[in-house]
Amino acid sequence: MDVKLVLERIKFVLKNNLILFFLMFLFFVQGLKAQPVPAIDENIPFIVTFGKDADPIWGDDDFCQIFFFIIPESRIDPIFLRVYDPDTNGKNDEPKHDFNTKINFSIYGGNSCWSNKDAQAVNPENNYKSGVLIASKTFGADSQYDEKWYTFGPINPFEGELVEKFGGRVFKVIAEGISGDDGNLYNYFLSSTPNENKEIEGGNFFTYEYTFRLANNISHVSQIYPYIDDETTSIKIWNFDWDNDGKIKVISVAKNGLSCNVSGEGEWVIKDFPIIDEEKNTSLEVQFIKKQSSLVKNNNVSIIIQNQYGISLPFYVIPIGGVPVYNPKIRMVEID
């Protein structure tokens, strides 16, 4: 036998096994980040939802936050949705007077939980609660849940809506202020067990309107990741109640920190951007950079991105295709 040929074959096998191991490692590491909302890479402290009697100038325009979560089609074991600090009275929440707010968390599955157009709209109107109600609980000033986890489940993964484009089954979770005027700050975690945060490989969350809290730190930068599909030729970025708290920038493979218009207190502003071919089927990064001259405390902001047809684009907590990296070889001209 040719010794040289044998050695070459051994080198080939080792090389390809190392590559396979490396790819599996990358997939595993990314999978670990896919379960919390907000995700670690987003650098967002909390989602925020106010009671329905709140003033929108506090940063929540509609007192309702809708997220969808995806379970891989291959998953057959039960899943659990855990909510951190779901009560409306405690260290993390935002009081306006005495705590008087109740927030309802509800989970939906069934064949229309996502595909109904009202569910994908940015305003909670008409049939936005489409689908089959799986679980629901209302939280008020419940100290037993302050800075603690509450678990919904077990949930049968087959109760979700099977959506081919997502490669899995989709569920909807709605947090809605049903009374009061305080802000409820909370997080989600998609888990394989009821009492611990254990990741479900391949899971992800997305929303069409993101309302969240910025950190009380002048050096803080948050980022979220809208996905641009192959039918998008331009986008409108809407932001609400930014309180003129610094800058909002857009990064993509073709955009290197282009500036958005920024909103003042209780107002929506909009900025148009063209989308070129290289940006299609990739994620953008929208950065929220707090101003360093003075601290704007407890700043809550809402953001929406729509395409040229007025259809809202999803923000994935783990960006599809990864975090975008600007490529200076791609020429991009901003259109005002």
| Mean pLDDT for all residues in the chain | 89
pLDDT of residue 329: 80
pLDDT of residue 14: 38
Cα dihedral value 318, 62, 236, 130, nearest 10: 60
pLDDT of residue 50: 98
Answer yes or no: are the C-beta atoms of 69 and 204 closer than 8 Å. yes
Answer yes or no: are the C-beta atoms of 81 and 173 closer than 8 Å. yes
pLDDT of residue 69: 97
- Work out the pLDDT band at 98, boundaries 50, 70, 90: confident
Answer yes or no: are the C-beta atoms of 105 and 83 closer than 8 Å. yes
pTM for the model stands at 0.87
Nearest to 222 by CA among 253, 194, 249, 258: 249
Q: Kindly state the percentage of the chain with pLDDT values over 90.
A: 83
The DSSP letter of residue 149 is E
Specify the amino acid at residue 291. K
Mean pLDDT within 25-52: 75
pLDDT at 133 over 60: yes
281-325: pLDDT as tens digits = 999 999 999 999 999 999 999 999 999 999 999 999 999 999 999
pLDDT of residue 331: 61
pLDDT at 164 over 90: yes
Nearest to 243 by CA among 56, 42, 47, 53: 56
Element at 7 (helix H, strand E): helix 3-32
Q: Residue 132 has which token pair?
A: 């089959």
Domains of the chain: 35-213 (no CATH), 214-336 (2.60.120)
pLDDT of residue 11: 44
pLDDT of residue 333: 52
Q: Kindly state the percentage of the chain with pLDDT values over 70.
A: 88
Answer yes or no: are the C-beta atoms of 305 and 314 closer than 8 Å. no
Mean pLDDT within 160-188: 96
Beta strands in 59-131 (DSSP E): 64-72, 79-84, 102-109
Positive or negative: CA dihedral 314, 319, 323, 326: negative
Q: Could you tell me the CA-to-CA distances from 203 to 32, 66, 68, 212, 286 in Å, in that order? A: 10, 17, 11, 21, 22
Answer yes or no: are the C-beta atoms of 188 and 82 closer than 8 Å. yes
220-255: pLDDT as tens digits = 999 999 999 999 999 999 999 999 999 999 999 999
